[in-house]
Amino acid sequence: MVTTTKAVGDLFDLIERKPDLLVDADLTVERDGVAFTVRGYDDLVAVDLPSFGAAFALFRDRPVEGADAAVALAAAGLTAEIRVRGAPVARLGADAVPSPLAKRLGFGPIQLFLDGVLLAITPRRG
């Protein structure tokens, strides 16, 4: 049986030998009855979730630790931006600048956007 650490390490080795990836995607994904979008713009992959509840559920059930995902994305030349209701709340990968708050919270090399969090939780007028 292959351990997760070995499999992730092998993935990093494989990615480091390849040129940077470019992503072109426009998907709607449904998970546990919640739909969200994934859009790729060259080296940026934007994941837009409808609520913080959906974002926390996705984070809680992630198949790879946040630090491992950030390193794998950076090695591939990609950046993932997590958005809630269209507002960017976090970024990881090549263009992420780890924020002190993310480090304090133990999220690792993830950039958090407090202004995006505030926009995402603010009720929208009609």
Residue ranges covered by each domain of the chain: 4-121
Output 9 or 51, whichever has higher pLDDT: 51
In this predicted structure, what is the pLDDT of residue 1?
Answer: 46
Output 68 or 81, whichever has higher pLDDT: 81
Q: What is the pTM of this model?
A: 0.77
Determine the average pLDDT of the residues in 67-88. 88
Output 110 or 124, whichever has higher pLDDT: 110
Could you read off the pLDDT of 4-30 as tens digits, one per residue? Answer: 556 666 766 666 666 667 788 899 999
CA distances from 1 to 6, 7, 8, 55 (A): 10, 10, 14, 31
Per DSSP, helices labelled H in the chain are 4-16, 52-60, 66-75, 100-104, 114-121
User: Which two tokens mark 5?
Assistant: 């650490």
pLDDT at 75 over 80: yes
